[in-house]
Structure formats: C-alpha cells, structure tokens
Amino acid sequence: MTFYELKEAVLIGFFLAFMIGPVFFMLIQTSIIKGARAAIVFDVGVIFGDIIFILMAYYGSKSLLEKIKDDPRLFYIGGLILLVYGIITYLDKSQKRTIQDENLVVLPAKTNYFKLFAKGFLLNFINVGVLAFWLGMIVVIGPNLEMNSSKIFNYFTLILVSYLITDIGKILLAKQLKKKLTPHVIYKIKRTMGILLMIFGIVLMLKGFIPKERLNLNNVIEQVE
C-alpha cells in the first residue's frame, strides 16, 4: 500500500472510534465500572463483529447484501433487541439497593469475560447500519486497491488495528474517572446508558419505515457525486 492509503486507513480507524452510538457509550461505561481489561474484552467482541461484516461484504454477492441490509425486518429486530436491553438496564435496581452501603464493593470479584465479549459482538452485530458501512467501504475502496485480496486485507486490518488502539486510549482515559465514582453516580450512569440504548433502539426500528430507495447505497453515492 502507498503512504496515502496507509494514512487514510489509520484516519478511518481513528474516526470510527469516535462515532457516537450504543457501542461508544457501552465501552465507556464498561471501562468506568468494570475496568480497562473488561472494556478491552468488550471491544474485541465489537471488532469481531466488524470482521464478520467485512467478510460478508467481501465474499458475499453485492446483490444479496443489498437486499439483506435494506430488509426492514432486520431494523425491527435489531432495534427491538436494543430497546429491550435498554429497558432492562434502566430498570435494574441492583445498584440502587446498595447505594447506602458504605462497604460496597462496586466491582465483582470475578468478571465474566466471555459474556462481555459476546455482549460487544452482539451489540455491534445487530446494527445493520454497520453492515451497510462496511459494504460501502468495500464498494468504494475495493476498486482503488484493484480488488487485490492482499491489499484489501491489509487495508481493513490497519483500519481495525487503528480503531482498537484509539479505543484503548479512550478506555484508559475513562478509567481515570473511576476514582471519582460513588455508588450513586454509577447508578445514574447505568440509568443514562439504559435511556441511550432505548433511544438507539427506537431510531433503528424507525429506519425500517424509511423507503428502500432512501436506504439504497447506490442512490446515496449518486446523490453525493
């Protein structure tokens, strides 16, 4: 790859890490409440979801992927999952019941890393907008890289590595806030996270009502050009 392509891939990975969405907020929350190691495991799950989408976009047929990503039922299902998870998070009273306990241990003795990995993967994978993004990247970047498998692999690997490194920086910064946390603050964070997840879920479900012509990637590209 040329220096320009390397720089472009790094910048894409950097800016992806700051895209506001449910993954962004959940990563920060996990870092603050459960610690840096737990947040990194969660983030690896997110990236694994990205890898699956990239492979689908590269090896799958474009016509099939276009049909899948525009299917409103996927928006309904993904949005409903986010909505339900947001409601559960918001209504969780476990933290509230222990707010008055001065000897409260905020972090559990054992962290279920597999559960965190799965949560990161599923939270990313149910968002069909991520599939549309990677499909768009393949369509736009592929021809520029002469559809060379090696170049495309290196390009997207660099994007994901840059994304992970930037996220680790965010995790370490968020961890510094841990000292200022109280049980009451943690409870407020979880409720806020629940509200945000519900909002993202509702927005995702509403996308199912948008006409397919508005969601079609080719039409969007043509409008930009």
DSSP SS3 for 98: helix
What are the b/e assignments for 43-77, b being 16+ CB within 10 Å? bbbbbbbbebbbebbbebeeeebbeebbebebbbb
Domain definitions of the chain by residue range:
3-14+22-100+113-224
Taking the model in full, what pTM does it have? 0.70
pLDDT in tens, 187-199: 777 788 778 878 8
In the structure encoding, which two tokens stand for residue 5, read together?
């392509």
The CA distance from 125 to 120, in Å, is 8
Is 112 in a helix, a strand, or coil?
Answer: coil
pLDDT in tens, 14-27: 888 887 678 888 88
What is the number of alpha carbons within 13 Å of residue 53 lying toward its C-beta?
28
Q: How confident is the model over 144-176, as pLDDT tens digits? A: 777 788 888 999 999 999 999 999 998 888 877
Go through the chain and tell me how many residues it has.
225
CA dihedral 80, 85, 87, 89 (to 10 degrees): -170
Which of 97, 103, 76, 121 is closest to 190 using CA atoms?
Answer: 97
Q: Is 179 helix (H, G, I), strand (E, B) or coil?
A: helix
Q: Are 120 and 46 in contact (CB under 8 A)?
A: yes
So what's the pLDDT on residue 140?
A: 73
Examine the pLDDT at 47 and tell me if it is beyond 50: yes
Residue 29: pLDDT band with limits 50, 70, 90:
confident
Tokens of 24: 């962004």
Dihedral sign for Cα 157, 81, 23, 203, please. positive
Write down the mean pLDDT value for the chain.
76
Q: What is the pLDDT of residue 99?
A: 43
Report phi then psi at 61, rounded to 5. -75, 145
